[in-house]
Amino acid sequence: MKRLLITLRVVLVLCVLFPFVVFAEEKQEKILTGSITLIQVLQAALLQNPDLQAYSYEVRAREAETLQAGLVSNPKLLVQVENAMGSGNFKAFDQSETTIQLSQRMELGDKRALRKSSANLSKEIAGWDYEIQRLEVLTRVSQSFVHLLKSQQKVILTVEGVQLARNFLKAVSERVKAGKVAAIEKIKAQVALANMRIEEERARQELENARRKLSTLWGEAEPRFDSAQGDLFSVPDRIFPEPTPLPSNPRLSKWSAALAHRQAELEVENSKAIPDLTFSGGYRRLEETSDNALIFGVTVPLNWFNRNQGGIAKARHRLSKAQEEKRAQVLGMQEALLKAHSELSFSHAKVISIKTEVLPGAEKALSAISEGYRFGKFGLLDVLDSQKTFYQVQNQYLDALAEYHSAVADVKRLTGVDPFIQDNSIDRGKGEP
């Protein structure tokens, strides 16, 4: 007996502590430090993104609604004392009648099953809403990761630009010292160096903003990682063919459950037109004669006026509305996908053009003019203009790369491709321009 009591106490303690243990496990955060990859960021966002957490609680709430919808209505207990505490012979309880009655409502028309089916479909819709939000969040994560890679490269670019401007200032100073050019050219070179240092500071500020924007997607206001590791320069020679919306897209897949739910709601409203029966039975005590008796009865509502006509019409109209909303969203997704693929094609062509034509030409021009300046063939303005052009072209190239990878993520979101199972070429390594 003593062992049994100890066992029961242990079970009771575990039952009390178990919810807190589970809650603590659920709240464990994944902290990203050091050099991070896209896959790590996607995993952290999936576990800790506040929007996804909110949607997961809605799924649990719908599960609770399904449980509630399948429960049988509670019986009612009636205790009634009559002919007591009055006047004359009814001052006491000698003439009283006591009734104890139990009643139970019986739902007809399969109401409970229909209600439970509707709640199940509502839970399924909440699951699809979670999948939609999941895809949206992971797409934002991929695009923010790309933006961070671009910001890192821009810092490297500005650092190289500062070094280039510093070397050029040194060359100008030597020419001024040798008396080959006027001293004003040294001042202009110093201004160019100062401007490039401002660009470097701006690039570092943008990098910090990009780091913070990315970390908020997994619930951290201040990032703890050092850098992002990925190949921003990984671009195929050919663009993949124009896609069509796939059934795997959760926005389209959701409509099967949504239309079924509207139909189930209509069936629930139709079932309300069938009246429910309430059966009752009990015991009655007559104190005057010391007799006992049983009572029983049945209550039948008479649906003469209210047959739930408005509820049925409302459910029918909402079913028609959902059908039109589905058609509108399919058309909207087709339009959005065509637009996204057009932007992807344009950004791909822009990347290839800058990489193969514009960037090599600007680099060649800068090298030739800088070398020619040493021998007096070109003036200072020619050199500064070529440096500015080369810097702008490199910036355009990084912007075009980021636009391309963001467009890829957008197209895959519209086609319903899961970021975890796609071929993440950007996540293969650091890469070089």
**pLDDT on residue 30:** 67
Number of domains composing the chain: 1
| Domain-embedded: residue 14 | no
**pLDDT on residue 3:** 39
**pLDDT on residue 426:** 65
**pLDDT on residue 178:** 79
Say yes or no to pLDDT of 245 above 70.
no
| Domain-embedded: residue 88 | no
| Domain-embedded: residue 411 | yes
pLDDT digits (tens, 9 = 90+) for 120-161: 999 999 999 999 999 999 999 999 999 999 999 999 999 998
pLDDT digits (tens, 9 = 90+) for 18-50: 343 333 344 456 688 889 999 999 999 999 999
> Exposed e or buried b for every residue in 164-201, given b needs 16+ CB within 10 A?
bbeebbeebbebbeeeebeeebbebbeebbeebeebbe
**DSSP summary character for residue 303:** -
Say yes or no to pLDDT of 264 above 90.
yes
Q: Which of 2-11, 51-60, 422-431 has the highest mean pLDDT?
A: 51-60
Give the angle subtended at the CA of 191 by the CAs of 187 and 197, to the nearest 5°. 145
CATH at residue 200: 1.20.1600.10
Say yes or no to pLDDT of 262 above 90.
yes
pLDDT digits (tens, 9 = 90+) for 387-412: 888 889 999 999 999 999 999 999 88
Say yes or no to pLDDT of 254 above 70.
yes
Which pTM value belongs to this model?
0.81
- Which residue range(s) make up the domain with 155? 143-216+230-270+311-427
- How far is Cα 349 from Cα 328, in angstroms, rounded to an integer? 32
| Domain-embedded: residue 29 | no
| Domain-embedded: residue 404 | yes
Q: Could you tell me if 262 and 325 are in contact, meaning their C-beta atoms sit under 8 angstroms apart?
A: no
| Domain-embedded: residue 34 | no
Range with lowest mean pLDDT among 109-123, 188-202, 359-373: 359-373
